[in-house]
Amino acid sequence: MGAVPSTPRKNARPQDTAEYLISTFVGEKSFPLTSDFWNKLLELPFTLQWPNYRVRQACETFVKNNYNTRHLAKILIHLVWSLQESSTTSGVSIDYTKAINAAYLSSVFLKYTIENAKSENFEELYLCLNEDETAVNILRDQNIGRFVMHGILSFIGSTDVSSQTYLLHLELLNFVLVAMSTQLRSGPTPGPKDVHPFIDAAMGQQDSALVGLVVHRLLLNYITRPRIPSSGATHSIFSEDGEPGVLHKVGSAAANFVLMPFNYFVSSSGNVSRNPLADNSLLLLLILIHYRKCLMMVEPITEKCEDPLKLDSLVKEKSYFSDNPFYRALESARDVEFDRVDIEGNGHNGPLVRLSFASLFDTLGLHLADEDSVLLLYSLVHGNSDFLEYVLVRTDLDTLLIPILETLYNASRRTSNQIYMLLIILLILSQDSSFNASIHKLILPSVPWYQERLLHNTSLGSLMVIILIRTVKYNLSQLRDVYLHTNCLATLANMAPHVHRLSAYASQRLVSLFDMLSRKYSKLAEQKNEKMLQINPNSIEGNNTVEDMSAELHIYTDFLRIVLEILNAILTYALPRNPEVVYAIMHRQEVFQPFKNHPRFIELLENIYSVLDFFNSRMDAQRTDGEWSVEKVLQVIIINCRSWRGEGMKMFTQLRFTYEQENHPEEFFIPYVWKLLVLSHSGFGFNIGAINLFPVPLPIEDARVEEEAEREQTDDLDV
């Protein structure tokens, strides 16, 4: 065994012993893997509280000495050893405590090292042993990154979460999130030169069964949401009481007490809506399934290029992405309650994950206010055909749709990314005709969160139409995003042929949508004509402005045409069962008049006017005493809907929009997932000044606090 440092005086306080050992850990002296020093360090049961500046100084000292001591690599190896030992013993043993402490200590110093790394390949980690220790055959020809990730993933995947193992599972998830945060230091576009030792090691795991177990465990943690054990509390990178977690405090000068590696506590706020193990499990799963490792093809890039955009394009052409085993595992997940017979005899190529789709469906429905749950739902309905099929045959689609529609209703309080994800989910669902039919059969007694008017006994389909049109209006006034417009209208177009008894309010909003877009179109056309009369023909800037206005006008022409096609689809395929749509068109028929001779709309408007002529003539043939009331007009429409045969209507090919993921989805999803972790879970507290993955402005107040705290630092850490 290696030599152990002489400890403080014989009757020293536990805090003194803890401080001495941790100071020794970050100091200059290197201790071999077999030294008893590691047992003494990791078995400490005592609380140690240091102010922030001392932790920072300890981290600085650790980074400076790690090149010679390789203590980061050694504590990680001891972490895996402790996990292996704890897996072979029954009940909670000292190895659980050692593993928890090793995971926590490693997280603190690893996070600081990653945040402050100067090299592009994170040489400061020094994930290798010195030559004098290579004789110890511990890695079995693996590098330390792969050895550590295999050990941690094996424990997570194979060990059930219980009151005894909860804390260890939580700290391991925290550690893995920290270890994979090297992605925050890279640019938004993954390149072949990017180095991420730990997540690349996870992707390189050859055991597909292990990958399947990990995905299953993370999903199970999300579904079951294990309770924090009453006998032990947690203190990790995520805090539930409004205060920053300890790892956040490592990078925040505003913190009071920081290093508490062996003390865990429970939130006293009474907030039970968040579950740290479930939240971290989901975030880790999202990071794993959306990661893409960029690799270069054999032929190098020989073309010289100084334009960074063009160079980036060349790199993309010459590169490819390696397979992601975790995404394949999610893609192959199957319902544990339903065994599909493989008629064609095609076995699954990837790891097979089996879990309760019913529990997953219900859990998602309860948590769709959270962006990470929305992203999981997207990942499932887009990537897993079995889960999508399961959703489509559920009779209680309101479980998912009501939270989605309520979130869209409150779009002004949500991020644009969350709105995009929700609209894409609706678009994917609307590609199925049975979905479009079933949502109109489900009647909602009330919609309490809808404030504009009382909605009583409204079909889920009518509510969906109302909310999608409201989202378009919000987008027109706030976001002005063409992609968002397109998704809303595409979903409405998919629904149109299957509309059944659309409510009066939804029908009115549909016609009002055309009116709103037409007024925007007319205003743009007028502005364009005025601009053309004002500009100098030789003015480049003026011509560019006109071209931009022409492009925008073309976009609105397309939008208007889609709305007309939506109305046409309802009138052509579903008029008899939608008298309220006919009434809304008759009531606002003047809005179509300015476009009657427009070359892009003429055929579509001919159908609308055929309907108007038919019902207007029936109205004229009716004799009534006094004024026409809404009820009387609607009654005439309902009666004549029965005799409607569609004479003179031109049949158009049904619009059918499908969702296709972009060619480089990683450019959206990798930054998005990490934004959820860094910005939505403030306890993670990664140094925002070190983030290159996405832009994060430094708050002025935080910068001021940082400067004031640094001026107050007068003590030094003696190691």
Digit-coded pLDDT (tens) for 34-46: 899 999 999 876 5
**What span, in angstroms and rounded, lies between the C-alpha atoms of 458 and 209?**
47
Lowest mean pLDDT of 425-439, 615-629, 648-662, name the range.
615-629
DSSP state of 185: G
What tokens appear for 677 in the block? 């972790």
Tokens of 183: 């992605």
- CB-based contact 314:204 (threshold 8 Å): no
At 264 the pLDDT is 28
pLDDT given at position 718:
34
Contact status, residue 108 vs residue 680, Cβ threshold 8 Å: no
Give buried/exposed letters for 395-422 (b at 16+ CB in 10 A, else e): eebbbbbbbbbbbbbebeebeebbbbbb
Q: What is the DSSP letter of 651?
A: P
- Beta strand 354-355 with 334-335: parallel, antiparallel or unpaired? parallel
Q: Is the pLDDT of residue 701 over 60?
A: no
> Which conformational region is residue 277 in: left (phi greater than 0), alpha (psi within -120 to 50 degrees), or beta?
alpha
pLDDT at 271 over 70: no
Q: Is 355 helix (H, G, I), strand (E, B) or coil?
A: strand
User: Residues 190-238: pLDDT tens digits?
Assistant: 888 899 999 999 999 889 999 999 999 999 999 999 988 765 444 433 3
Specify the 3-state DSSP secondary structure of 364.
helix
Give mean pLDDT, residues 7-11: 59
Q: Which domain holds residue 569?
A: 395-643
262 has pLDDT over 50: no
Q: What is the mean pLDDT of residues 622-627?
A: 72
Residues β-bridged to residue 354: 334
pLDDT at residue 340 in the model: 56
Instruction: Give percent above pLDDT 90 in the chain.
Output: 61
Q: What is the DSSP letter of 627?
A: P
Residue 355 lies in a domain: no
Share of the chain above pLDDT 70, in %: 80
**366: nearest Cα among 470, 225, 166, 169:** 225
Token digits for 156? Answer: 């997570």
| Confidence bin at 351 (pLDDT 50/70/90) | low
Scored b (16 or more CB within 10 A) or e, 531-545 reads eeeeeeeeeeeeeeb
- Residue 267, pLDDT score: 29
Mean pLDDT value of segment 597-619: 94
Residue 103 has pLDDT above 50, yes or no: yes
Which range among 237-246, 343-352, 389-398 has the greatest average pLDDT?
Answer: 389-398
Residue pair 691/678 in contact by the 8 Å Cβ criterion = yes
Average confidence (pLDDT) over 274-302: 85
In the chain the first and final C-alpha atoms are separated, in Å, by: 24
Q: Report residue 358: phi and psi, to 5°.
A: -60, -45
DSSP of 506-529? HHHHHHHHHHHHHHHHHHHHHHHH
Phi, psi of 205 (to 5 degrees): -65, 125
CA separation for the pair 375, 417 (Å, rounded): 10
Cβ neighbours for 5, distance < 8 A, ≥ 6 positions apart: 20, 21, 24, 29, 37
Classify residue 478: in a domain, yes or no: yes
Give residue 364's Cα distance to chain centre.
Answer: 13
Of residues 260, 228, 307, the one with CA closest to residue 48 = 260
Per-residue model confidence as pLDDT tens digits over 107-134: 999 999 999 999 989 999 999 888 777 5
The chain-wide mean pLDDT, for the chain, equals 84
Amino acid at 336: V
Tell me the sheet residues that pair with 446: 456
To 5 degrees, how large is the angle CA 15–CA 18–CA 24? 140
Model pLDDT, residue 181? 96
Instruction: List Cα–Cα distances, 512 to 154, 358, 473, 496, 560, in angstroms.
Output: 57, 39, 10, 16, 12
pLDDT tens, residue by residue, 522-574: 999 998 888 877 776 666 666 677 788 888 899 999 999 999 999 999 999 99
pLDDT > 70? residue 68? yes
Q: Number of folded domains in the chain?
A: 2
pLDDT given for residue 662 in this prediction: 87
In the numeric block, the tokens 């004509």 are attached to 529
For residues 380 and 213, what is the distance between their CA atoms, to the nearest angstrom? Answer: 17
**Using the 8-state DSSP alphabet, how is residue 426 labeled?**
H
Which of 180, 205, 230 is the endpoint of a domain?
A: 205
- CA distances 440 to 229, 463, 603, Å, are 45, 9, 29
pLDDT for the residue 713? 39
pLDDT of res. 679: 82
172-194 average pLDDT score: 93
Report, in angstroms and rounded to the nearest whole number, the Rg of the chain calculated over CA atoms: 31
Domain assignment present for 9: no
Question: Would you say residue 594 lies in a domain?
Answer: yes
* CB 330 within 8 Å of CB 289: yes
Residue 261, domain member (yes or no): no
In a domain, 541, yes or no: yes
Residue 29 falls inside a structural domain: yes
Tokens of 320: 């490819």
Is residue 358 in a domain? no
Mean pLDDT of the region 484-509: 96
Give the C-alpha distances (Å, rounded to integers) separating 444 from 438, 452, 579.
13, 17, 20
More confident residue, 565 or 476: 565
Q: How far is CA 152 from the centre of its chain?
A: 24
Strand partners, 319: 296
Which of 643, 675, 693 terminates a domain? The answer is 643
Q: Is residue 499 classed as helix, strand or coil in its secondary structure?
A: coil
> Which one is predicted more confidently, 696 or 324?
324
Helix orientation angle between 482-495 and 460-474, rounded to the nearest 10 degrees: 160
What is the number of residues in the chain?
719
Task: Report d(CA 122, CA 126) in Å as an integer.
Answer: 8
Residues forming a β-bridge with 296: 319
Q: How many angstroms separate the CA atoms of 153 and 281, rounded?
A: 12
What distance in Å separates the CA atoms of residue 173 and residue 283, rounded to the nearest whole number?
Answer: 9
C-alpha distances in Å from residue 293, one per residue of 69, 325, 357, 466: 31, 11, 30, 42
218, exposed or middle or buried, with CB in 10 Å at 0-12, 13-18, 19+?
A: buried
Tell which of 610, 643, 676 closes a domain.
643
**For residues 114 and 126, is the Cβ–Cβ distance under 8 A?**
no
Residue 75 CA to residue 246 CA, distance in Å, equals 19
C-alpha to C-alpha distances, 320 to 218, 291, 293, nearest whole angstrom: 28, 13, 8
pLDDT of residue 126: 94
Higher pLDDT: 509 or 619? It is 509
Q: How many helices (H) and strands (E) does the chain have?
A: 28, 6
What is the chain's percent helix, strand, coil content, to nearest 5? 60, 5, 35
**302 pLDDT tier (thresholds 50, 70, 90):** low
What pTM does this model have? 0.88
Which residue reads 């194979």 in tokens? 158
- Burial class for 244, CB neighbours closer than 10 Å (0-12, 13-18, 19+): buried
